[in-house]
Amino acid sequence: MSGSDPAASVKSVPAPRANMPLAGVTVIDFGQIYQGPYATLLMAKAGARVIKVEPPHGEPGRLRAQVGKGATLPLAMLNSNKSAITLNLKSERGRELLKEMVKKADVVLENFAPGVMDKLGVGYSVLREINPLLIYASGTGFGLSGPDKDSLAMDLTVQAASGVMSITGFPDGPPVKAGPAFIDFLSGIHLYAAVVTALFDRAMSGRGRLVEVAMQETVYPTLASNLGFVYNSQGKSAPRVGNRHGGLAIAPYNVYKAKDGYVAVITVVEDHWPKLCEAMGREDLKTDPRFVSNAKRVENIDATDAVIEAWTSTLTRKEVFERTKKFRIPVAPVRDLLEVMHDPHMHERGMLEYIDHPDLGRIIVPTSPLRYHGADKIETIPSPRVGQHNVEVYGDLLGLSADDVAALKEEGAI
Helix axes 402-411, 390-398, angle to 10 degrees: 110
Q: Got the DSSP string for 17-75?
A: PTTSTTTT-EEEEE--TTHHHHHHHHHHHTT-EEEEEE-TT--GGGGGGGTSSSS-HHH
- The span from the CA of 323 to the CA of 334, in Å, is 16
* Inter-residue contact 248 to 301 (CB < 8 Å): yes
Q: ω into residue 252 within 30 of 0, thus cis?
A: yes
**333, 325 Cβ separation under 8 angstroms:** no
Say which amino acid occupies 277.
C
Q: Is there a contact between 134 and 211 (Cβ–Cβ < 8 Å)?
A: no
> Kindly report the CA angle at 3 between 123 and 414, in degrees rounded to 5?
30
Active site residue: 106, 184, 305, 359, which one? 184
Give yes or no: 284 in active site.
no
CA dist 239 and 95 (Å) reads 50
| Helix segments in 176-280, DSSP class H | 182-205, 215-219, 224-232, 272-280
Could you tell me which of 60, 95, 87 has the C-alpha nearest to residue 75? 60
Show which residues are catalytic: 184
